Structure 1
Amino acid sequence: MSEQVLYRNPLISQEIGDSKALLHSRHTMSKDEGRILLMCLERMNRDGESANGEYWFNASDYCEIFDISRREAVRDIKAAIDNLAERWVHIKDGDHEVSMRWIGKKMKNVKQGKYGVVFWPEILPYLHDLSDQLAAPLPWLAAMSNINNQRILRWINEARSNDLQCLEMTLDDIRYGLDIREVKSYSIYNNLKRRIVEPAIENINLGTGIELTFEEIKESRKVVGLKFYWEK
């Protein structure tokens, strides 16, 4: 592989660290729950961590970002916050395990069209890690159909922001970054390409306008990595 274009994104190792339990929990979230979390993470990334874990957002912003009507937004926000209030996260530290809800309080101001949540204090450090990993415009992340596509988009956008023309990654790096090393079917390259890489590229191209393509990196006849290119 060429050292000039090889790029090791620090997000790969960071996001599979202390926040792993949260990332696993996000895999089971609905689209609207994920949108609420993204908006809170964006606010945390922009304004800094709230001392009491309280984050507010406007229904009008939700409408604009996700391109839906106000009626749909209000309906989706209410349902998503209700569901988040019932979700548990289980975080292990050696033999010690702590279980907590995502949020401990939900709030709304109907006249102002504002909705808010208060995250549990113990979960805030993990959320702060996730907020640092946004690394792409919120509308772009919102356009991704699943978390794997969001992660790949973040890697691409991080490389673009570092003025790189392409991004080379080994298959092991990709599996590690997507936290799928233990999924046996993805040890087979064709499954990884067909089920994750190709759908992610299609989603990114449609959702962001980035013209993303890839080519295979081979050693002898074996595919060992991928090289991603973009036009925008």
Structure 2
Amino acid sequence: MANALKKKINVKQSNELTEAAYHLSLKAKRVLWLCLMQTYFTDEDESANPVFTVAVSDYEDIFNVTRNQASRDVKEGVFELSRSSIIFYPKSGRHDVIARPWLTEAGGRSSKGLWEIEFNHKVLPYLYVLGNQFTTYSLRDCGSLKNPRTVRLYESLCQFRSSQIWVTSHDWLSERFMLPDSQKANLAELKRTFLEPALRQINDKTPLSVSYQAESSGKLIFNIHQKQ
């Protein structure tokens, strides 16, 4: 993947994955990104391979950390993914909420700095995006964001770049971002300790310029603009 990485460091993420409920640490999220990057270069007529190879050297190069740090981060990120589940909210079918484990198996070759990660086959369709319901963004644009929930907010905002407005709710953010109880219970606390610091980071470090309004009803309205 190294040659591809030099050309373009983009992630293509399905809207279902963006809207799912999960909370991963930054290390695990970065490992997931390294897998999503590989689907970006997949042709639509290729079959979806459940096994992804994650190289410590790619993590080191993209996220600008030492080799030792990259090795530790990838290992911890892979182990976290192996323990974690993701919750989907399908718009049709028998269930309106489904929980699935991310991985089937993960194996590492320490001497080569490589991990082979096999995703749950029921999660796989959300990783390989072959339709038009997806969002593309660059890791160069958001790689400096250090808080995993700020990253998730950025991904959600990117989904609505073309319309320039995203209307959501306190309850939706609480559920999908798995926010702590203090932020779930109190909109003012959510604004003070999550939304406002997160938007300062996004406005400072990414190509987006975002403002928002919070209504007493719990509705949140984000105005999204691309910086010139």
How does the TM-score come out when normalised to structure 2? 0.65
**Contact 1:91–1:99 (8 Å) recurs in 2:** yes
Q: CA deviation at 1:33?
A: 1.3
Query: How many Å apart are 1:61 and its aligned residue?
Result: 1.3
Distance of 1:227 and 1:186 partners within structure 2: 22
The DSSP-based 3-state class of the residue aligned with 1:121 is: coil
- Structure 1 equivalent of residue 121 of structure 2: 121
In the alignment of these two chains, the number of paired residues is 204
Matched residue SS, 1:135 = strand
Using the TM superposition, give the Cα deviation of residue 228 of structure 1 relative to its aligned residue in structure 2, in angstroms: 4.0
Identity %: 22
Q: 1:201 to 1:95 in 2, by over 3 A?
A: closer
Structure number with greater Rg is 1
Kindly indicate whether residue 101 of structure 2 is the aligned counterpart of residue 104 of structure 1.
Answer: no
Query: 1:118 offset after TM fit, Å?
Result: 0.9
For 2:203, the equivalent position in structure 1 comes to 205
In the alignment, residue 105 of structure 2 is paired with which amino acid? K
Counterpart code for 2:201: N
Please list every run of 5 or more consecutive structure 1 residues that lacks an aligned counterpart in the other structure.
Answer: 1-12
Which residue identity does 2:38 align to in structure 1? R
Secondary structure at 1:144 match in 2:
coil
More helix as a share of residues: 1
1:58-207 equivalence runs, <5 A: 58-89=55-86, 94=94, 101-110=101-110, 112-128=112-128, 133-158=134-159, 160=161, 162=162, 167-170=164-167, 173-175=168-170, 178=173, 180=175, 190-207=188-205
1:30 aligns with 2:25: yes
Distance in 1, Cα, partners of 2:71 & 2:118: 19
- Give the root-mean-square deviation of aligned CA atoms: 4.3
Q: How far off its partner does 1:96 sit?
A: 10
1:207 partner amino acid: K
SS in 1 for 2:199: helix
Answering whether residue 38 of structure 2 is matched by residue 43 of structure 1, we say yes
Q: Deviations over 1:69-106 (max 9, x none)?
A: 01111122122223322334567975799765422222
- Match for residue 54 of structure 2 among 57, 63, 77: 57
8 Å CA contact retained: 1:136, 1:153 = no
Aligned in 2, Cα 1:14/1:152: closer, same or farther, shift over 3 Å? Answer: same
Q: Distance in 2 between matches of 1:214 and 1:85?
A: 36
Counterpart-to-counterpart distance in 2, 1:148 and 1:37: 15
Give, as a single letter, the amino acid of the residue that structure 2 aligns with 1:78.
K
Unaligned runs of 5+ residues in structure 2 are: 1-13
Residue 145 of structure 1 deviates from its aligned partner by 3.7
Pick closer, same or farther for the CA change 1:147–1:46 going to 2, 3 Å: farther
| 1:147-193 deviation per Cα after TM superposition (whole angstroms, max 9, x unaligned) | 54234323544555x4x7xx3344xx254763549989668654443
CA contact (8 A) 2:169 2:220 kept: no
Contact 1:148-1:178 within 8 A present in 2 as well:
no
Q: C-alpha distance in 2, partners of 1:72/1:65? A: 13
Q: Would the alpha carbon gap of residues 15 and 147 (structure 1) be closer, same or farther in structure 2, given more than 3 Å must change? A: farther
Distance (whole Å) between structure 1 residues aligned to residue 105 and residue 64 of structure 2: 27
